[in-house]
Each structure stands twice: as structure tokens, then as C-alpha cells.
Structure 1
Amino acid sequence: MTFKLDDYLPYQLSTTSNVVSDVIAGEYKSLFGLKIPEWRVMSVLGVRGASTQRHLVEATLMDKVTVNRAVKNLVDRALLDRSPNTADGRSHHLMLSAKGRDLYEKIMPAALAMEKKIMAVLTAQEKAELSAMLAKIKKSADTLAAE
């Protein structure tokens, strides 16, 4: 059996994801001083609203330490607000502060413009098919992970 790493789906997904993230991150790191984990936390909070750190770990698929470090940096920069979680005294609700919301609103157009440049090599139909295929692959992996 001959194994070709470049044809191995997990390798293709990982390397593609990393390079796409790095290219887009270059935009908001140079313009806004954010690292990838910080932007992922901000984007989840920007879309979903207030969340606990545990939920951020689940939503971003990053480990606890990475999320903790990103949250600390964002709080230190006054981009996130914390409030006690009355349902669970051990955690806090995290949300974008007014300053964080303003920054989020500035970053989104840059991130979406870079995504558009990257995806310009695909037709509208190919984009839709890719999205559907990725959703199927994720669902299959989620099913296997739950077994």
C-alpha cells in the first residue's frame, strides 16, 4: 500500500484550514493587533452574543488554555465584558464590550473581503457544493465521535 499524504483528507483539510486562517488573520493582526484565537472568540461572541468560556471552547473547538488566554487578553484590552453567571457561580458570561463591538464591526468587512478573494477561484455552484460537502463530512465525523 502506498500512502500519499497530499491525498489524505485530514491532511488536506488541516493544511487548507491553516493557510486560509493565516491569510485572513494577517489582515486583522496587522490592522487590529488580534491573534487567531482572539478573533475566533470575538467572532463567536459577535454572532452568538454572550457566552461562557466553556461554551466558547465548544464553539471554537480550541482547547481551554487557548480560550482562557484569548479571553484574558481581550478583557485586558477592554474588548470583552464579564458578568457573573447566576446559574453557575463558577463561571462568567462574556460579551463584546462597546469597544469590542466597534472593533468587530471594523474587522468583519476585512475578513469577508479576504474570504471573497480566496474563494474567487470557485463558481457560485462550487462554493455551494463545497459548503454542502464540508457539512456532510462534519456530520459524519460528529456521529463517529459520539459513538
Structure 2
Amino acid sequence: MPTEAQALELEKFLPYRLSVLAQLVSESLHDLYAGPFELSVTQWRVMAALGRFAPLTASDVGQRIVMDKVAVSRAVASLMKRGLVERATDLDDRRRASLRLTEKGRTVHAQIVPLALKYEADLYQALSAEERQALNSLCDRLFAHAKLLRSGP
């Protein structure tokens, strides 16, 4: 006998909730830096990755910020045109190029980081210190398990 299909309560479905929360947070943070610095979400993510981990290849940046190559490539090209990012050819492998923030890029990065950290602190005010710690621990576990599920058995 066939079973009745389960109903998907979208508003309670964890992947949906995480996606909507991420979008809302990303858009709210974007509102803080978009106007003054004329950066898209992808451009800021590229700069944030380079500000923390440079030098990186464009492929490395894409993996760090979990965005596709085309979006990263466009963002890098735009940031290079604006003088915020520079590319250097790897001396050991001429086919490989690493990216880093320019002096101008580091200045912009240094101006946005406090805005981002203040936004994070404001967001965290909805949680107690214990809840923040628990959330961070749970996020770490969900990230690790999601990566495991993505890679398959």
C-alpha cells in the first residue's frame, strides 16, 4: 500500500531556514559597505578572503568563499580594475597566479572590517554568551557533516 507523501513545512525546513538567514544577514551587512565602498557581496568576500589568507589563487578564493569560478573571476577582474587587488605570476609555475590586496585594497579592507565586526556583535546580542558558544559549536558540526554528506560515501 503506497504511503502518503510527507509534507515539507518549508518554514521549519533547516536548509531553507539557514539559506534565508544567510541571505538576510548578507544583505544587511552589504547595506553597510555597498554604498560607501561600492562593493558587491562577492567582491567583499574576495577581499575578505585575501585580507585573511593572501596570497591565494582565484581557485583558492572560490573554495574559501564557496562561490563559483565565474563569479569569483568577475569580482577579481573588477577589483583589479579598481586597484584593490593585484595578481602576481608564480615564479615556480608560470601558469599559476596569486592574488593579494593592494595598498588601496588593504585600506578599504581595514575600513570595512570594523563595520563587519560591529554588525556581528549586534547580531550576537540576540544570544547569551552560552548560546553563542553553543551556536558556534553547532555550526562547526553542521559544516563538517554537510561537507561529509556532499562528498558522499
Q: Give the structure-2-normalised TM-score.
A: 0.92
Are 1:28 and 2:33 an aligned pair?
Answer: yes
Are 1:67 and 2:72 an aligned pair?
Answer: yes
CA displacement 1:104-142 (0-9 Å, x = unmatched): 001000111111112211111111111110110111111
Q: Identity of aligned pairs, percent?
A: 33
Q: Give the structure-1-normalised TM-score.
A: 0.96
Pair member with larger Rg: 2
In structure 1, C-alpha distance between the alignment counterparts of 2:91 and 2:24, rounded to whole Å: 40
CA contact (8 A) 1:53 1:91 kept: no
CA contact (8 A) 1:42 1:96 kept: yes
Unpaired runs of 5+ residues, structure 1, are none
**Equivalent position of 1:98 in the other structure:** 103
Are 1:119 and 2:124 an aligned pair?
Answer: yes
Give structure 1 regions of 4+ aligned residues with deviation exceeding 6 angstroms.
Answer: none
Please report how far the alpha carbon of residue 78 of structure 1 lies from its aligned counterpart in structure 2 after TM superposition.
0.2
Please report how far the alpha carbon of residue 29 of structure 1 lies from its aligned counterpart in structure 2 after TM superposition.
0.4
Higher relative contact order (CA 8 A, sep 6+): 1
CA displacement 1:54-101 (0-9 Å, x = unmatched): 101110100011000100010000001110023432231100000000
Please report how far the alpha carbon of residue 37 of structure 1 lies from its aligned counterpart in structure 2 after TM superposition.
0.2
